[in-house]
Structures are given as C-alpha cells and as structure tokens.
Structure 1
Amino acid sequence: MSKALEGQGKTVLITGASAGIGKAFADVFATNGFDVVLVARRIEKLEEVASELESKHGISTRCIAADLAKSTSAKKIYDELKREGVTIDALVNNAGYAITKPFTEAKWKDHSDLMNVMVNSVTQLCYLFAKDMKANGYGRIINLSSVAAFSPQYGGNLYGATKAFVKDLSEALDLELKKHNVYCTALCPGFTRSEFHDVMGVSSAMDKLPKWIWMDAKTVANQGYRAVMRGDVRYVNGILNKSLVTAMGFLPGKVKYFLSEKQNVF
C-alpha cells in the first residue's frame, strides 16, 4: 500500500477540528486516506471543513457538535459512534484554550470548564477509545501538549499545568499500550499561527513577538502525524522549540523560575 493510503479503511477522530491545528490535522489524515470524524462546538464550521475534505480527498466525514467543557460530552461522542458502528483507529485530542486572567481573578467555573476540556475530556476519550484500539490491535493517539509543559507559566498557569499533565499522561499511556500496537504521542508545539490567540483576545500581544519564533499549523500537524506513525512518545515541533526544551532541562530550578516570571505575555 502506498504511503498516501496508509489510512485506507481507518477512521480518525479529531477534537477542536474546526480551525487551526485541528483543521490541519484533519487535512493531513485525510491526505493519508483516513476517514475523519470532526468534533468542535461550531457545527457550521465543521460542515465547511468536512465539505472541503470530501471534495479534496474523496474520504468520508462525520461532524459532531460537542462542548467538551461539559463533563458528559466525551461519553456522548463515544456512544454516538458506537451506535453508528464507527471504529476509531486514531485519536487527536487537540481542543484547547487558555484563560488570560490572573488565577485568583478568574471565575472558578472558567477554571473548571478549562480542566474539563484539557484534562478530563482528553483523559476520558483516551480511556474509552484506547480500550477498543487495544482490542483491535491497532491505534494511534496524538495528545496536544506544548512547550509550556516544560516550565511554569506566568499569566497562563493553568494552561501550562494542563499541558504538563497531558505530556505525562501520554508518555505513561504509550508505555502501557505500545505492546498492543497502540502508540500515544505527546505533541509539543510552541507558538503556532491559528485562531487560538484571536479567541483568547491576545493577538495584539502575540503580534509583538518576532516572526521567526512562529510555526504554521500545517507544519505542526504534518510533523505530529509522522511522529505518531513512527511511534515517537514525545515530539517537540521546530528546531527552536527543541533547543529551548533541551536547554530548560539543564537549567537550575531557580533560573527557570526567574525566566518564567519574565515571560508573561498576557
């Protein structure tokens, strides 16, 4: 089978699939022959993406409108696909956002919703679909972590903490599942051009950053796809980000703490 068709007969589920990295992942998987289940809150956007994928790649799509901030959403997604007889062979947990207020000034519901999206839903979707993947003898899981997982985040503290959780969870799952031909990759991009910063209301602050630190969503998704297909347990996108993560591993804790304090972009 040609590389372009390695996903033939298989289906990927992607959360946060209406824009940005999630949309880019949908295109990458479709390019490689996967049918695609698109999950996000905005059904109109999902249907636009689905139409593009079907026209461009000739694959099948399904759209599921779901708010992962609700604790019941992950199970509802799983149950709906089970009822329809859809087997999920690959999973991309991409949905995410950040709270730009200081920790104690944000409402608790805002924190709770964020943790549902970026911790609880990620964990539950992995739990539900990994069991089926294990039984089927094939599975590929990409969980979106971040370079923010490697040091404390001033001004985005809960975001960095959730990304650290996702990184550690992914690595632990890979240890447990790889003997069943189920690979889990923690994908760790840095600054990536997408709607993310517009939604968070920090685009003006992001525009002040030098252009050379940015990556585009398509590159991030392509690298993530290749990483999980190779069985990489962790992949840091971009030479700059790899260098930063490596350097942070050698820095004393106090130095890392000091640098984090100076990097508040909010």
Structure 2
Amino acid sequence: MSRRLCLVTGASSGIGAALAREFANHGWDLALVARREDRLGELAEELKAKYGVDSLIIADDLSEPGAPERIVKAVADAGRQIDGLVNNAGAGQPGMFTETDWTDQDRFLQLMVTSYLHLVHLIAPGMKARRFGRIINVSSVSALLPSAKAHTRFSGTLYPGAKSLLIKLSEALALELEDDNVHVTALCPGYTWSEFHDVNGARQTVSNLPKFWMLTAEDVATAGYDAVSRGVVTRVPGAWYKFLVAVAKVLPDPVGRALMRMQEKRMAAQAGAAAGTSSAG
C-alpha cells in the first residue's frame, strides 16, 4: 500500500470522526477505533465513497488496560504500519472526586491518560525509525485556563489535570522527536458540538452558551490537521478561545479564578432560567 495510515481513537463520532474525515481528505487510510463497531462501519463506508481511502475497523474499549496492545497488533496483523496517531478517545467522570468510587476514577485515568501514553509508547518508536510520524493528542482549553467547578460537575475533578498532562507530554515528545520528522501536537478545543455533552449531562448548559463559544467538530479537525502537518506543538482552535488563553496568561491566578466563578454563576442562572421556561411551556 502506498498510502499512509492514521490510527484514530474515539472515531465513532464528534471530533474523532471529524479528524478521520480530515486525514482521509488528505489521502490517508484509516484505522478507526471505538466501542461502537456499527458506527465505525458506517464511517468507513463514507470515507471510501467520498475519498477512496481504505479503513480498518477495530472495535475495542480503551478503558481496558490491554486495549492499546490489541489495537496495535490488529493493525500489524492487517499488514499495515501506523504513520499517524490521533489520541481522542475519552469521556468525562462527572461528580466530586471525594464522592465517587475509585473504580470509576481509575477507569477514567486508564481511558484519558494511560491509554494515550501506552499507544504513543507502542507507536512512536516505529515512527522514529522510519523518520516520519504525525501524532495528535486531543487535550482541552480547560488545561490552559483557571480551574472551575463546572469541570468537576460535568467532566470530573481530574479532567483539567489529565488534559494538562497531554499538553506537557506533547511538548516534551515534540522536542524528543524534532530531529526525526515526527510532529506532535496537543489540540486544545473549547466547547464543541458533539455527543460528549450529552453523555456527561452538560447539554442544557452548553445549549445556552453564546454561539461564539461553540466550535464545530469540523473546525477543530481542520485546525488539528493543519497544526500537526506544520509542526505546531499546541493549537487552540477558535478566536474566542485564543483570546481567553491569552488573557489567562497575563492575569494573576486569583483574578482568573474569580472571573471563572463569575462566569459559572452566569451560566447557572441562564440554565435555571431556561429550565423554568421549558417547564412553564
């Protein structure tokens, strides 16, 4: 096969599916990974029809410790090598850290941190040896902003920290591999229209945000592909989020946290008002 292959986790919907389409649009074959095999099959058919690329379908659960090795082996058994990696699989763990079971927190860390590191550790050496590789770790703009209670409410206390680790990993790995033509990017989107907000219960709140707060998965994917192609280590999609990150860099931490609390109160008030209107109707 002459086409390069990109492994995309969390490819069944949202940002993962959009990144798969973006890579396909640039001539890459795909290895599509998620739990929902039917969704992966539909996406593979779409990519073949629209872009003429081939896709491997790998149904697996990255919250299981053995999943990364099974996934990489499945690609090798198909006679392919992995030239690109998009670490995107994920879900929030809503609720207070002190009020949730450790088994749930452990599963969250396996899915959101350990699986990412394990896949990179399995795949990056081959990229280095072949002197070509493209790695995107999907982080979050929340890792670049002051902590907020909304993170705990909808995504979990550990969410910003987990996403922060991915930024530092990407920065360090990019330095380690900069002479080997292996580009590593931390993609840091803000609120994005996807199923993620339905799963973690944030749909009502997100729906009440101003339109300029919301990104499309396609916008995020375009920004991510452009960044990793050009060797940009950290990419924040969207002008609004670029502005927020720039402001956060210059504000003292206590001021930033105070502003986040004010915004949370406004969002809570808006959500309450919307819920009241809906009930009245």
TM range (shorter): over 0.9
Report the Cα distance in structure 2 between the residues aligned to 1:80 and 1:26, rounded to whole angstroms: 18
**Larger relative helix fraction:** 2
| TM-fit CA distance, 1:75 | 1.2
Report the Cα distance in structure 2 between the residues aligned to 1:162 and 1:203, rounded to whole angstroms: 22
Gaps of 5+ in 2: 269-281
Report the Cα distance in structure 2 between the residues aligned to 1:206 and 1:224, rounded to whole angstroms: 22
Whether 1:67 and 2:61 are equivalent positions in the alignment is yes
Q: Show CA shifts across 1:139-188 (max 9, x none).
A: 00000011110132322321111100111111110000111000100111
Name the amino acid aligned to 1:74: P
Aligned partner of 2:201 in structure 1 is 201
Name the amino acid aligned to 1:152: S
| TM-fit CA distance, 1:258 | 2.5
Report the Cα distance in structure 2 between the residues aligned to 1:54 and 1:134, rounded to whole angstroms: 29
Q: Is the 8 A contact 1:97 1:159 kept in 2?
A: no
Gaps of 5+ in 1: 1-7
SS at match of 2:177: helix
| TM-fit CA distance, 1:263 | 4.7
Report the Cα distance in structure 1 between the residues aligned to 2:10 and 2:22, rounded to whole angstroms: 15
Q: Show CA shifts across 1:129-148 (max 9, x none).
A: 10110011100000001111
Q: Show CA shifts across 1:63-96 (max 9, x none).
A: 1011111111111111222222210100000111
SS at match of 1:157: coil
Aligned partner of 1:4 in structure 2 is none
Q: Which runs of 4+ in 1 moved over 4 A?
A: 262-266
Q: Is the 8 A contact 2:56 2:75 kept in 1?
A: no
Aligned partner of 2:84 in structure 1 is 90
Report the Cα distance in structure 1 between the residues aligned to 2:19 and 2:137, rounded to whole angstroms: 12
Q: Is the deviation greater in 78-87 or in 196-205?
A: 78-87
| TM-fit CA distance, 1:261 | 3.8
Whether 1:142 and 2:126 are equivalent positions in the alignment is no
Q: Is the deviation greater in 97-106 or in 141-150?
A: 97-106
Over the residues paired in the alignment, what is the CA RMSD in angstroms?
1.5
Aligned length: 260
Report the Cα distance in structure 2 between the residues aligned to 1:63 and 1:15, rounded to whole angstroms: 11
Name the amino acid aligned to 2:49: S
Report the Cα distance in structure 2 between the residues aligned to 1:250 and 1:105, rounded to whole angstroms: 34
Name the amino acid aligned to 1:87: Q
Name the amino acid aligned to 2:215: M
Tell me which of 23, 31, 35 is aligned to 1:29. 23
Tell me which of 47, 52, 57 is aligned to 1:53. 47
| TM-fit CA distance, 1:108 | 1.2
- Aligned identity (percent) is 44
Report the Cα distance in structure 2 between the residues aligned to 1:159 and 1:40, rounded to whole angstroms: 20
TM-score by structure 2 length? 0.89
